[in-house]
Amino acid sequence: MKTFRKKPLRKASAKAQSAMEYLMTYGWAILIISVVLAALYQLGVFNPMTFAPKAPPGSCQVFRPNGPYTTSFINLEGICSGELPQYVAQFNGQNGYITVGSALPLSPSQITVCAWINPTVITGSRREIVGNDYTSSDSFFLSLNNNGNSEGDFWVHTTSGWQGPVVTPSAVPLNTWSFLCANWTGSNEYIYLNGRSVGSLGTSGTISLPIGVPIEIGADDENMQWWDGSIANVQIYNTSLSANEIQALYLEGIGGAPIRLQNLVGWWPLNGNANDYSGNGNNGQINGGVTFVSNWYSGYTPP
């Protein structure tokens, strides 16, 4: 009776040895290429928004043929269909902010404040986005606080004292673009995150309107509450926008144009400068560490 012996698996062994030799020869090259590709991805080279059309500074603005704060025959002019901005404002968290020298004609009973934000870090008690909580005659501010989880909060100062805050129930994420919006109806404060109402609070009194107190974007410099991160498309209205209108603003994206132009008192896209494109002439002045950057896409997901 014949006994059959299995032949050695020489071919399999040879293939395994060849694979190991290949990895030893080219493994470092593959690793280096992988690291380079990952770095390029982080820099946004492979981000599709890198190649998307960008709206240059001042490409969209409100035209008021009869002068600032007039409401007859006003309309948007230019590229106003929600293109991505070419630049956003980056604040260094130490001394950078933008001031608007004149007091805006706010309503004593209603206000809406909106901005796209990308916070880098929250330290201290809070980091202010926009407001004029500057003296005893202040009226409002929108900020991120540092109560443990970087909540968004909104305050108004009325004849009954400070009203608020109305607060987001969860943290506004760091290193991510979010749309934060808040309004006051005269009897309630509401706060919205990415177009969705996330908090409300009953209030009383009428708003305390400042006399000559500047609006500040990116800081309350009196209390050293400097913004650390980026801000874009700041809008202030002297009315209370509806939930549907705020949702519509969010869906326009970071380059979206304002609505309710008759109630728009200030619009700072921060697309390369601190100018006011509401047609009301409230141009901002840059102070300290504020720069306008074009490689801002990381952390932004179009609505």
| Together in a domain, 97 and 129 | yes
103: phi then psi, degrees, rounded to nearest 5: -70, 135
The alpha carbon torsion through 289, 294, 295, 297 (nearest 10 deg) reads 110
In a domain, 95, yes or no: yes
In a domain, 93, yes or no: yes
Q: Which parts of the chain register pLDDT below 70?
A: 1-51, 102-103, 123-124, 133-138, 147-149, 210-213, 221-224
Q: Are 247 and 183 in contact (CB under 8 A)?
A: no
In a domain, 242, yes or no: yes
In a domain, 62, yes or no: yes
| Together in a domain, 238 and 258 | yes
Structural domain for 25, as ranges: 10-42
In a domain, 1, yes or no: no
| Together in a domain, 148 and 16 | no
pLDDT of residue 184: 92
In a domain, 4, yes or no: no
| Together in a domain, 260 and 282 | yes
pLDDT of residue 268: 98
| Together in a domain, 114 and 33 | no
| Together in a domain, 159 and 222 | yes
Q: How many domains, in total, are found in the chain?
A: 2
| Together in a domain, 216 and 286 | yes
| Together in a domain, 91 and 32 | no
Taken as a whole, the chain contains a residue count of 303
pLDDT of residue 4: 46
pLDDT of residue 214: 78
Q: Which domain CATH number covers 265?
A: 2.60.120.200
In a domain, 303, yes or no: no
| Together in a domain, 143 and 258 | yes
Q: What pTM was computed for the model?
A: 0.83
| Together in a domain, 29 and 152 | no
pLDDT of residue 139: 80
| Together in a domain, 30 and 73 | no
In tens, the pLDDT along 35-88 reads 555 554 555 555 666 667 789 999 999 999 999 999 999 999 998 988 999 999
| Together in a domain, 122 and 16 | no
In a domain, 3, yes or no: no
pLDDT of residue 113: 96
